[in-house]
Amino acid sequence: MAGFHLLSPYFLVSLKELYSKQRECSSDIGRRKNRQEVDLAQFCLDRGTILHELNHVVGFEHEHVRPDRDQYIEVIWDNFTSEEFKKEMYIVKDRKRWSVFNESYDLYSLMHYGPYAYGNGKITIRARDSYFQNIIGQGKGFSAKDIRKIRKMYNCLPDRPQDVIY
Ligand SMILES: [Zn+2]
């Protein structure tokens, strides 16, 4: 959480709107209704998963659906056991709609799924650089780029003029 503005009004609003139906780990992307629903079933109650879902709440998509993802990962379609996830992976998001805030593809992102996502033990996502194969889907906390993107989206860059003490 280093560097994350816990006291940002946006983050407090998100937490106030936290609401659990205890079915799965999921959230809408960005604010949709008056009350944002975040599903956190028992098996989702670890730090990484909660931060991942709250990062959806504040407006971020999965890293592996970026338009440039095929340069960094290979999707192994035949190994998916979930049609729903396959569908999600097919839809490579439109860059105009989902800003990447001028950050390059992030294999360390908390918003990146791991190698075995929806594969029932088989690899569904292969990092093109094998060094990253066990890094994708780290699930522990924000990467440096995750934090930079949050700061950019909410205009809380440390070097913005109002943060400078003269
Ligand atoms: Zn997610």
Q: 62: annotated binding-site residue?
A: yes
Note the pLDDT of residue 77.
93
In a domain, 165, yes or no: no
Amino acid at 39: D
In a domain, 1, yes or no: yes
Under the banding of pLDDT at 50, 70 and 90, the label for residue 17 is very low
Amino acid at 45: L
Of all residues in the chain, the percent with pLDDT exceeding 90 is 41
Are residues 143 and 103 located together in one domain of the fold? Answer: yes
Q: Is the pLDDT of residue 157 over 80?
A: no
Answer whether 0.85 is exceeded by the pTM. no
Q: Residue 53 catalytic?
A: yes
Task: Find out whether 22 and 42 touch, Cβ atoms under 8 Å.
Answer: yes
> How far, in Å, from the CA of 55 to the mean position of ligand 1?
8
Show the domain range for 84: 63-160
pLDDT digits (tens, 9 = 90+) for 56-114: 888 898 999 998 999 999 999 999 998 888 888 877 777 666 778 899 999 999 999 99
Are residues 107 and 68 located together in one domain of the fold? Answer: yes
> How far, in Å, from the CA of 129 to the mean position of ligand 1?
23
Q: Which two tokens stand for residue 1?
A: 């959480």
> How far, in Å, from the CA of 31 to the mean position of ligand 1?
15
Q: 5: annotated binding-site residue?
A: no
> How far, in Å, from the CA of 116 to the mean position of ligand 1?
15
Instruction: Give the mean pLDDT of the chain.
Output: 80
Q: Which two tokens stand for residue 5?
A: 């503005």
Task: Name which of 2-6, 43-47, 82-86, 102-106 the model is least confident about.
Answer: 2-6
Choosing from 37, 53, 88, 103, the catalytic residue is 53
- The beta strands (E) that lie in 4-111 are given as 25-27, 38-40, 73-75
Question: Could you give the number of structural domains in the chain?
Answer: 2
